[in-house]
Amino acid sequence: MLQTAEDIRLLNEKINHAAGFVTRINDELSKVIVGQQSMIERLLIGLLSNGHVLLEGVPGLAKTLAIKSLSQTIMAQFSRIQFTPDLLPADVVGTMIYNQNKNEFVVRKGPIFANFILADEINRAPAKVQSALLEAMQERQVTIGDTSYKLQEPFLVLATQNPIEQEGTYPLPEAQVDRFMLKVVVGYPTKSEEQLIIRQNTLGLVAPTINAVASTSEILTAKELVRQVYLDEKVESYILDIVFATRFPEKYNLAKLKPLISFGGSPRASINLALASKAYAFLNKRGYVIPEDVRNICKDVLRHRIGISYEAEAENVNVEDIINEILKTVNVP
């Protein structure tokens, strides 16, 4: 849809006003989380663009703390599911139980019925449980017995997986990983950040209180505005070029990548890259997407959607290297 300069100016004003809660949330989260600004930004992008986030990082990087604190800032219901090998689908979505007093079966809803779900170490549970969670993520509803129950909005699943241990884990199949809008690799804090973390945790100070600074209605309004963010046809073509370069690298002067890629991004990659770029623009209080927004969020959208070949592994080439090469070569509008 074509938009005039005046339409974009009005949208900018509307977004400036509506995005006020982002600063408030960041201020609250900075009370308890040191650094990790990129991770928090990605959580907000997932929340605002109706996507879910897969976090990968070693234990102790504040992944659990981040989503729990985020839910506290938004007056939303938080639920944590610790995935283990003996978990059953009913432990996630709920089940029918017999009520002796009423002489009938009644529904007992599972922990999936919340606004923010932390699926801790998702790769520890068997495929049946992973599928139950992923169905809820995709359909935003759960069927218990003969009845389907809508999940309340906003609804954000943050799944974590530990990249170190492989024993006793059930890796997510590519088709299931693809359901996550973003895969965020969480890195270590800097030396100065870690020094501050040590002080906060060893001085015996009372933990700061996280206040609710945004309402779910503000989040739902923001989600509507994110969809309205202007995406120019040239930026749209740039997104398509990046995704198509993962499928047909030889058409983009990247023939050397062809033997390294076993499969490229699906149309879901293009959709999510466009939506995440719009959400990134919203967080920066802009009513239009610029190529830099696409570049900033590109790795998180694509790193779990590109398959690398045995040849790439033999040459020690990872997905990040491939995405960097594509971003360097594809023409920026």
pLDDT of 299 above 60: yes
> Can you give the pLDDT at residue 277?
96
> Can you give the pLDDT at residue 328?
93
Distance CA 143, CA 146 (A): 7
Mean pLDDT to the nearest integer, 192-219: 81
Question: In the structure, what pLDDT confidence band is assigned to residue 325 with cuts at 50, 70 and 90?
Answer: very high
In CATH terms, the fold of domain 229-329 is: Helicase, Ruva Protein; domain 3 (1.10.8)
**Mean pLDDT across the chain:** 86
> Can you give the pLDDT at residue 167?
58
> Can you give the pLDDT at residue 95?
86
Mean pLDDT to the nearest integer, 53-81: 83
Say if CB 69 and CB 109 are below 8 A apart.
no
Which of 317, 312, 313, 270 shows the shortest CA–CA distance to 294?
270
Per-residue CA distances from 74 to 24, 46, 206, 230, 266 (Å): 10, 15, 22, 27, 33
H or E segment at 206?
A: none
Strand ranges (E), 41-140: 53-56, 78-82, 94-99, 104-109, 116-120
Q: Please tell me which residue, 171 or 79, carries the higher pLDDT value.
A: 79
> Can you give the pLDDT at residue 205?
66
Question: In the structure, what pLDDT confidence band is assigned to residue 301 with cuts at 50, 70 and 90?
Answer: very high
pTM: 0.87
> Can you give the pLDDT at residue 283?
92
Specify the 3-state DSSP secondary structure of 171: coil
Backbone angles phi, psi at 175, to 5 degrees: -65, -30
CATH 2.60.40.1180 is held by the domain 41-200: no
Q: Please tell me which residue, 301 or 192, carries the higher pLDDT value.
A: 301
Q: How far apart are the first and last CA of the chain?
A: 19
H or E segment at 215?
A: none
Mean pLDDT to the nearest integer, 185-207: 80
Question: In the structure, what pLDDT confidence band is assigned to residue 2 with cuts at 50, 70 and 90?
Answer: low
pLDDT digits (tens, 9 = 90+) for 122-156: 888 888 888 888 878 888 888 887 888 898 888 88
pLDDT digits (tens, 9 = 90+) for 227-283: 999 999 999 999 999 999 999 999 999 899 899 999 888 899 999 999 999 999 999
Mean pLDDT to the nearest integer, 204-215: 79
Question: In the structure, what pLDDT confidence band is assigned to residue 165 with cuts at 50, 70 and 90?
Answer: low
> Can you give the pLDDT at residue 226?
92
Mean pLDDT to the nearest integer, 180-191: 87
pLDDT of 110 above 70: yes
Backbone angles phi, psi at 37, to 5 degrees: -60, -40
**CATH 3.40.50.300 residue ranges for the chain:** 41-200
Which of 127, 149, 154, 125 shows the shortest CA–CA distance to 139?
149
Q: Please tell me which residue, 234 or 95, carries the higher pLDDT value.
A: 234
Token code pair at residue 274 = 């466009």
> Can you give the pLDDT at residue 124?
83
Which of 227, 217, 333, 243 shows the shortest CA–CA distance to 279?
227
**CATH 1.10.8.80 residue ranges for the chain:** 229-329
Token code pair at residue 134 = 């992923």
